[in-house]
Amino acid sequence: MNAPHTLPAPPKPGSPEAIADATSFVRFERVRKSYDGIHFVVEDLNLAVRKGEFLTMLGPSGSGKTTSLMMLGGFEEPTFGHIFLGDEPVERLAPEKRNIGFVFQSYALFPHMTVAENVAFPLRYRGIKGTAAADKVAKALGMVHLGHLAARKPCQMSGGQQQRVALARALVFDPTLVLMDEPLGALDKQLREHMQVEIKQLQRMLGITMVYVTHDQSEALTMSDRIAVFNDGRVQQLAAPEMLYEQPANSFVAGFIGENNLMPATVDATEGGIATLTMGDGSRLQAPNPAGVAVGAKARLAIRPERFFIQVGDARGPLNILRGPITDMFYLGDHVRLSVAVGGDKPVVARIPVSQRRPFARGETVTLGCAVTDCRLLEG
Ligand SMILES: Nc1ncnc2c1ncn2[C@@H]1O[C@H](COP(=O)(O)OP(=O)(O)OP(=O)(O)O)[C@@H](O)[C@H]1O
């Protein structure tokens, strides 16, 4: 992407954002990165990571997550801006001087060394030898439950075990920060989910600050204290998982985190904080309008599939009602996934718990209800 943007002002001195930024452990300040001197792949990155926090950079391929992580690790230099570790600007500091542990998708273990020798490697590099080193290696391998395999070579271990060795190697020298780039990408689903919990428990137990890169949203939701959602080199929203899901800041986040029906709408009026909307097919629906999207503005109404229910009888309370034939349906054990042609250009997707109603028939007309407060109005 091109770079004609003016940079926003930093937070006002004394504001809550400025105080949070000032007390944070890692800070990106107006960081921009171009590899070719023309296009910026990271645009105006302002990000503060708190001490002991698990912060995930989440976004589609090419959105600038790895580049941001590599700048923090010291493997890439920012084109503009500053990165602070504690109070120290580090953008000119060599990676080995930053006291950071790394875990990558490829385990990058030395094949000719034993597990213990691999884990001891960063200690050797730091001049820690003898029993001091042996104690640290034993402790790190104990943390990842591999003490009994210290004498094995990497080729004698499973993918999950090798990634545990890489984790032990990243933790053995008591780093102030650990960076992980898609560390579980090569593992199968079950092992990945198991390792997510294990890494999270370890991070909590050690109180370590962790910055984690993934494009897997469920992984990010499971593990993170906060998630920075990247798209096109920019952070779209930085928030706790629940906040991202419940209150996405824009259509990109609303569509990227979980599943969402994003329906084009125009704002007719806002009264008492509730906007009345005209939908693409001319029908009228309502939604809270906390951001104050202006009357006449093009907007999108976001409704999560699981927030729909089958409306029976008269509507009670402030509800949006959508009605149409079922065009597609899938039985998924605990819920039925319906596509319902309610009049817009795309059918809406509704997830109806099987405890609520079944069976459904293709072509059957259903009435979907959704609380107005479960709808979200987004600009654009
Ligand atoms: N060394 C490099 N030289 C030139 N361009 C690069 C280099 N590394 C990354 N890029 C480009 O920068 C952009 C951002 O890449 P980056 O790897 O940071 O994204 P990402 O969000 O981590 O994606 P992925 O999940 O696929 O790794 C991409 O367009 C990529 O092609």
Average pLDDT over residues 303-313: 92
Domain boundaries, given as residue ranges, for the chain: 1-99+219-257, 259-379
How many CB atoms are located within 10 Å of the residue 98 CB?
18
pLDDT at 68: 97
Q: What distance, in Å, lies between the first and last C-alpha atoms of the chain?
A: 20
pLDDT for 6? 33
pLDDT at residue 18, as a whole number = 56
Report the predicted TM-score, pTM, of the whole model to 2 decimal places: 0.87
CATH tag for 259-379 (out of 3.40.50.300, 3.30.1150.10, 2.40.50.140, 3.10.310.40): 2.40.50.140
Query: Which of the listed residues 41, 180, 227 should we mutate to test ligand 1's pocket, taking the one with most ligand atoms within 8 A of CB?
Result: 41
pLDDT at 250 over 60: yes
Decide if 188 contacts 131 (C-beta within 8 A).
no
**pLDDT tens digits for range 72-109:** 999 999 999 999 998 889 988 888 888 999 998 887 89
Instruction: Please state, in angstroms and rounded to a whole number, the distance separating the CA atoms of residues 21 and 25.
Output: 8
CA nearest ligand 1 atom 13, residue: 62
What local confidence, expressed as pLDDT, does residue 4 receive? 34
Q: Is residue 248 within 8 Å of residue 346, measured between CB atoms? A: no
Q: How far apart are CA 334 and CA 353, in angstroms?
A: 6
% of the chain surpassing 70 pLDDT? 94
Q: Which two tokens stand for residue 354?
A: 């099987």
Contact in structure between 228 and 234 (CB atoms under 8 Å): no
Between the CA of 160 and the centroid of ligand 1 the distance, in Å, is 26
CA 218 to CA 231: how far, in whole Å? 17
CA of 170 to the centre of ligand 1 (A): 23
Provide the pLDDT for residue 1.
Answer: 37
Checking if the pLDDT of 368 tops 50, the result is yes
Per-residue model confidence (pLDDT) at position 3: 36
pLDDT in tens, 314-342: 767 789 999 999 999 999 999 999 999 99
Ligand 1 centroid–CA 86 distance in Å is 27
Res. 11: pLDDT tops 60: no
Q: 87 or 242: which carries more pLDDT confidence?
A: 242
Instruction: Answer yes or no: is the ipTM higher than 0.90.
Output: yes
Question: Which protein residues touch ligand 1 with a CB less than 6 Å away?
Answer: 35, 41, 59, 61-67, 215
Over residues 283-302, the pLDDT tens digits come to: 999 999 988 899 998 899 99
Nearest protein Cα to ligand 1, atom 28: 62
Residue 7 has pLDDT above 60, yes or no: no
- Which token pair is 122? 């960063």
Which residue has a Cα nearest atom 7 of ligand 1? 35
The pLDDT value given to residue 316: 74
Fold (CATH) for 1-99+219-257: Rossmann fold (3.40.50)
Q: Which atom of ligand 1 is nearest to the CA of 67?
A: 18
pLDDT in tens, 338-356: 999 998 789 999 999 998 8
Calpha distance 272→372 (Å, rounded) = 13
Q: Is 255 left (phi over 0), alpha (psi -120 to 50) or beta?
A: alpha
What local confidence, expressed as pLDDT, does residue 22 receive?
56
What is the average pLDDT value for the chain, to the nearest integer?
Answer: 89
Beta strand spans in 189-318 (E): 209-214, 226-231, 234-239, 261-271, 274-279, 284-288, 298-303, 309-310
In 3D space, the residue among 70, 180, 166, 177 whose CA is nearest the CA of residue 121 turns out to be 166
Q: With a cut of 70, say whether residue 230 has pLDDT above it.
A: yes
**What pLDDT, in 10s, does the model give residues 172-228?**
999 989 999 999 988 888 889 999 999 999 999 999 999 999 999 999 999 999 999
pLDDT at position 8, please? 39
Pocket test for ligand 1, best of 35, 38, 234 (most atoms within 8 A of CB): 35
Per DSSP, 11 falls in state P
Contact present, 299 and 377 (Cβ < 8 Å): yes
CA dihedral 288, 290, 296, 300 (to 10 degrees): -60
Query: 38 CA to middle of ligand 1, Å?
Result: 15
- pLDDT value at residue 191: 87
Beta bridge partners of 212: 56, 180
Which of 32, 43, 66 to mutate for ligand 1's pocket (most ligand atoms within 8 Å of CB)? 66
Pair 170, 144: CB distance under 8 Å: no
Q: For residue 312, report the distance from its CA to the centre of ligand 1, in Å.
A: 51
Ligand 1, atom nearest to 182 Cα: 25
In angstroms, the CA 221 to CA 223 distance is 6
Tokens for 10? 């930093």
- H-helix or E-strand spanning residue 170: helix 159-171
Compute, in angstroms, the gap from residue 267 CA to the centroid of ligand 1. 38
